[in-house]
């Protein structure tokens, strides 16, 4: 009997790990609008400030958004798994799938060393508790930007050897029961997985609308990227590469959190169609003297405007407008003193920014007061756990936005009301990170396998 045709949209972790599980069990095709990973050395490894090359590009293609960036694997259900996903997969099964994803990464060349919680964490947990913070600890494995491409290429080689077709430069335009239309023609399927990531979340929401499938707005995370001398976070990052710290502010009872910590890393610019944003990278072979992390306030909107993406975009556009098309940088002392930063003030500080393509300015002109209050209170609280973070020379870059996708109406196998049409990964609001995205891919693939 001929094998069933499975088409996967998106070559990020969700799509590739689904393909891994389905390879040899079905006739699998993975389509991605982006390109194949490049074997050549990434130019940003020489300059570290590149904004146009593969790792910084949100629509990077095979390998997905962040795997070709810092490539930090958070091996815990506490990180990056929205409640809706844990409810569906269930915690124990999710843990098993995390181990499976980790094993696959190791097989394809991920570094064996991991940051594993041990007794050294206790002192930090106690400091966090004393400061009124929550320190979420997890086993972590750092692939690093420079190791990521060979690992993805090895995984893709495996898929090709198992007859999976990988097609780059294919933009999926419409989805109908049984077939897709693309810029490269029509693809028919028995089962289809849509895993278009954050870069494809608007497209996915439109497709869901056309198919009459319900979607709901999820919260968005908005704030700044903080950059401090690396020495301040040396001992914490020695045991936990990407420390996740949660703060509930007293003023507003809002959640503020650290995210994507890049120890000895670089702040980078991300360019969207209508605005600029900042992000962070770290490399295993090039180190700066600084550490950066996103410091984000969670924002959920209720009626009359629930569209958190539009809200966040409008704020990011305002920052970009004030920055003359660039992100804004400000010293904490200048923010406190209600004045803009200047090139001279920044140059005189003990810490120099790793991102140069920015405009010194006043982020309080562009971010709402509630965000600024939350950021200042959050940093003061964080300072109790990591002394020195709340310092006049601490650098703040804006805007830093982690857009959350719409959540899509599905059953617990992430199958939509259209039979045989599944969703997975960040674009469907089911994950926030490489590991959770890959887990949702495996989870969907298991269900498809059971139906083939």
Ligand X SMILES: Cc1cc2nc3c(=O)[nH]c(=O)nc-3n(C[C@H](O)[C@H](O)[C@H](O)COP(=O)(O)OP(=O)(O)OC[C@H]3O[C@@H](n4cnc5c(N)ncnc54)[C@H](O)[C@@H]3O)c2cc1C
**What are the Cα distances from residue 372, in Å, to 273, 304, 345, 362, 378?**
25, 24, 21, 11, 10
Q: Does 243 bind ligand X (CB under 6 A)?
A: no
Shortest distance, position 324 Cβ to ligand X, whole Å: 23
C-beta closer to ligand X: residue 39 or 369 = 39
C-beta closer to ligand X: residue 11 or 378 = 11
Determine how many CB atoms are found less than 10 A away from the CB of residue 113. 8
Q: Does 137 bind ligand X (CB under 6 A)?
A: no
* Distance of alpha carbon 326 from alpha carbon 397, whole angstroms: 10
* Distance of alpha carbon 66 from alpha carbon 436, whole angstroms: 13
Q: Does 399 bind ligand X (CB under 6 A)?
A: no
C-beta closer to ligand X: residue 70 or 391 = 70
- Among the listed ranges 8-16, 94-102, 289-297, 365-373, the one in contact with ligand X (CB under 6 A) is 8-16
Residues 6+ apart with CB under 8 A from 109: 147, 150, 151, 154
Sequence-ordered alpha helix ranges (H) in 349-419: 369-385
- What one-character-per-residue DSSP string does 278-328 give? EEEE--SS---SEEEEEEEEEE---TT---HHHHHHHHHHHHHHHTTTS-E
Q: Does 361 bind ligand X (CB under 6 A)?
A: no
C-beta closer to ligand X: residue 76 or 341 = 76
Q: Does 13 bind ligand X (CB under 6 A)?
A: yes
Q: Does 175 bind ligand X (CB under 6 A)?
A: no
CA 115 to chain centre: 20
Burial class of residue 289 in the structure, from the number of CB atoms within 10 Å of its CB (0-12 exposed, 13-18 middle, 19+ buried): exposed
Determine how many CB atoms are found less than 10 A away from the CB of residue 142. 20
C-beta closer to ligand X: residue 64 or 378 = 64
Q: Does 223 bind ligand X (CB under 6 A)?
A: no
Q: What share of the chain is helix, strand, coil (3-state, %, to 5)?
A: 35, 25, 40
Q: Does 29 bind ligand X (CB under 6 A)?
A: no
Shortest distance, position 32 Cβ to ligand X, whole Å: 4
Q: Does 427 bind ligand X (CB under 6 A)?
A: yes
Residues 190-219 that bind ligand X (CB under 6 A): 195-200, 203
Q: Does 70 bind ligand X (CB under 6 A)?
A: yes
Shortest distance, position 303 Cβ to ligand X, whole Å: 29
Q: Does 74 bind ligand X (CB under 6 A)?
A: yes
Shortest distance, position 62 Cβ to ligand X, whole Å: 7
Contact 438, 446 (CB under 8 A): no
Out of 6, 8, 50, 67, which residue is the one contacting ligand X (CB under 6 A)?
Answer: 67
Contact 261, 233 (CB under 8 A): yes
Residue (of 192, 148, 159, 196) closest to 20 by Cα position = 159
- Among the listed ranges 91-99, 118-126, 247-255, 420-428, the one in contact with ligand X (CB under 6 A) is 420-428
Out of 245, 433, 439, 445, which residue is the one contacting ligand X (CB under 6 A)?
Answer: 433
Shortest distance, position 289 Cβ to ligand X, whole Å: 21
Using CB under 6 A as the criterion, what x/- string covers residues 265-304 for binding ligand X?
A: --------------x-------------------------
Out of 4, 38, 45, 59, which residue is the one contacting ligand X (CB under 6 A)?
Answer: 59
Sequence-ordered alpha helix ranges (H) in 201-296: 201-210, 234-239
Out of 28, 29, 61, 308, which residue is the one contacting ligand X (CB under 6 A)?
Answer: 61
C-beta closer to ligand X: residue 173 or 307 = 173
* Distance of alpha carbon 399 from alpha carbon 184, whole angstroms: 36
Q: Does 180 bind ligand X (CB under 6 A)?
A: no
DSSP 8-state assignment for residue 445: H
Shortest distance, position 209 Cβ to ligand X, whole Å: 15
Positions that interact with ligand X (CB under 6 A): 9-15, 31-34, 58-61, 64-67, 69-72, 74, 170-172, 195-200, 203, 260, 279, 425-427, 431-435, 437
């Amino acid at each position: 009997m001929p094998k069933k045709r499975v088409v996967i949209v998106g070559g990020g972790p969700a799509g590739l790990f689904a393909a891994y599980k389905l390879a040899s069990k079905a006739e699998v095709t993975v389509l991605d609008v982006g390109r194949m990973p490049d074997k050549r050395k990434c130019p940003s490894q020489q300059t570290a400030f590149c904004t146009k090359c593969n790792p910084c590009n949100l629509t990077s293609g095979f390998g997905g958004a962040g795997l070709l960036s810092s490539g930090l694997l958070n091996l815990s259900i506490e990180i990056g798994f929205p409640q809706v996903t844990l409810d569906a997969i269930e915690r124990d099964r999710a843990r098993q799938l995390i181990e499976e994803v980790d094993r696959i990464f190791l097989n394809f060349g991920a570094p064996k060393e991991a940051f594993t919680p041990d007794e050294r964490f206790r002192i930090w947990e106690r400091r966090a508790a004393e400061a009124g913070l929550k320190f979420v600890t997890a086993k972590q494995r750092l692939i690093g930007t420079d190791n990521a491409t060979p690992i993805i290429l090895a995984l893709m080689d495996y898929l090709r050897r198992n007859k999976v077709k990988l097609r780059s430069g294919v933009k999926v335009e419409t989805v109908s029961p049984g077939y897709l239309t693309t810029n490269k023609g029509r693809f028919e399927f028995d089962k289809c997985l849509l895993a278009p990531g954050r870069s494809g979340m608007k497209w996915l929401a439109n497709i869901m609308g056309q198919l009459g499938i319900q979607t709901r707005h999820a919260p968005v995370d908005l704030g700044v990227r903080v950059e401090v001398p690396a020495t301040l976070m040396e001992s914490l990052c020695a045991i936990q590469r990407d420390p996740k710290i949660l703060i509930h502010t007293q003023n507003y009872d809002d959640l503020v959190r650290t995210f994507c910590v890049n120890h000895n890393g670089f702040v980078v610019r991300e360019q969207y169609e209508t605005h600029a944003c900042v992000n962070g990278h770290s490399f295993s072979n090039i180190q700066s003297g600084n550490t950066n992390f996103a410091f984000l306030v969670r924002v959920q909107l209720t009626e009359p405007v629930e569209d958190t993406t539009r809200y966040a975009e409008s704020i990011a556009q305002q920052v970009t407008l004030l920055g003359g098309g660039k992100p804004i940088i400000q010293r904490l002392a200048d923010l406190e003193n209600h004045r803009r930063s200047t090139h001279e003030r920044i140059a005189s500080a003990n810490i120099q920014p790793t991102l140069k393509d920015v405009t010194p300015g006043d982020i309080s002109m562009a971010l709402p007061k509630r965000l600024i209050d939350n950021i200042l209170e959050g940093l003061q609280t964080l300072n109790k756990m990591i002394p020195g973070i709340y310092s006049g020379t601490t650098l703040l870059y804006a805007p830093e936005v982690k857009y959350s996708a719409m959540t899509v109406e599905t059953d617990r196998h992430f199958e939509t009301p259209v039979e045989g049409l599944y969703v997975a990964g960040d674009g469907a609001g089911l994950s926030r990170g490489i590991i959770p995205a890959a887990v949702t891919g495996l989870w969907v693939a298991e269900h498809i396998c059971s139906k083939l």
